[in-house]
Structure 1
């Protein structure tokens, strides 16, 4: 499939120290077939220098197409993604965290199944392939695998990493889904809902993972895991809209 533009959605909360680094990586990626890129940053009411860092970067790098939006109150990662998705104009969009855990140089790996005409949705899995993975938390890994297993039971998919950040979607398709989860419940909700689309083609590719510790800025916690379980039941078992 011919793709003219890729929208890169970045939810940002207190990422003033690193967001310029991820933008540098995005700017330097040579996308397959000279695909254009637009970067949509949604600042979820950060209380650090995130806004200043973004504005400074825009001023210094006008060649990178950056669209900036800000929530006046903190709503959560899911809500920031809702805003970003609604503003996307590329044929496809990808979700990119503002930290350095995921590598934009792997965008082309996720785009390949779409460009070759096989996929509508591509997930980047941290649990497959031979790319580098930082060794961190045992119980986080167990939790991620269990949540993926539970999600697969209700979606009838065989994903290895439902909780991954890297998700590539057909823009019109994802814009046509009613998404309601405002925090980390976004991941199971969107996965279960896309799985219900008739004849949807979902692929997975292996990606790198440069995880952070909590001291380095990691934000997800056990309460988000509990919410994910609730969302799997809500959108899977009860088929909630």
Structure 2
């Protein structure tokens, strides 16, 4: 299957130190089949110099297709993704965190089931395959696997990493969903709702993971885990729309 453009959605909050680094990595990627890249950055009302860093980068790289949006109040990662999804014009879109935990050089690896004509949605799993993984938090890993198992029980999928950042979607399909969660509840909500799309074809591929410590800027915490459980039950077990 061939298509023309991949939209790369980058939610950003207080990533002024590293936003240029991830944008450089995105710029360096040559997508398979000469697919074009559209980068959509959504600044969720950062309080550091994220906005200035983005404007400097755009000015220094006029050849790149970068669209920039700013939230007047902090709404959460999910809300930033809602904005990015609504603005995407590529036939497919992928989510890319502004930190350096995930490697854009793996886009073609994630795209393979799509360009081969097999998939509408591809999740990049940190828990399968032989790619590099930084060793960090035991309980964080256990929590991720618990949330994935609970989500699978509600969706009847067999994912290994529901909470992964790298999710690739057919743009028209995800734009047709009504997504409500404004923070880290986005992951279980979108997984549940995408699983209900008739004849949806969902694939999973192994990816590398260069995780950050909390001192290095990691933002998700135990409260987000409880919210994820709530969302899995709300949208999965109880079928909320």
TM range (shorter): over 0.9
Q: State yes or no: 1:171 paired with 2:171.
A: yes
Alignment gaps of 5+ in structure 2:
none
Q: State yes or no: 1:96 paired with 2:81.
A: no
Distance 2:113 2:95 in 1: 17
> Aligned-pair RMSD on alpha carbons?
0.3
Structure 1 stretches of 4+ moved >4 Å: none
Q: State yes or no: 1:58 paired with 2:55.
A: no
Other-structure match for 1:199: 199
Other-structure match for 1:181: 181
Distance 1:197 1:8 in 2: 22
Measured after TM superposition, the shift of residue 11 of structure 1 is 0.3
Other-structure match for 1:71: 71
Distance 2:64 2:24 in 1: 10
Q: Secondary structure of the residue that 1:64 maps to in structure 2? A: coil
Distance 1:168 1:178 in 2: 17
Measured after TM superposition, the shift of residue 104 of structure 1 is 0.1
Distance 2:239 2:216 in 1: 37
Measured after TM superposition, the shift of residue 192 of structure 1 is 0.5
Distance 2:203 2:65 in 1: 28
Q: Secondary structure of the residue that 2:169 maps to in structure 1? A: strand
After superposition, where does 1:121-136 map in structure 2 within 5 Å? 121-136=121-136
User: What do residues 51-80 of structure 1 show as CA deviations (whole Å, max 9, x unaligned)?
Assistant: 000000000011111000000000000000
Distance 2:161 2:3 in 1: 26
Alignment gaps of 5+ in structure 1:
none
Distance 1:149 1:237 in 2: 13
Distance 2:222 2:149 in 1: 17
Distance 2:99 2:64 in 1: 18
Distance 2:197 2:29 in 1: 32
User: What do residues 206-237 of structure 1 show as CA deviations (whole Å, max 9, x unaligned)?
Assistant: 00000000000000000000000000000011
User: What do residues 111-154 of structure 1 show as CA deviations (whole Å, max 9, x unaligned)?
Assistant: 10000000000000000000000000000000000000000000
Q: State yes or no: 1:140 paired with 2:140.
A: yes
Distance 2:153 2:129 in 1: 23
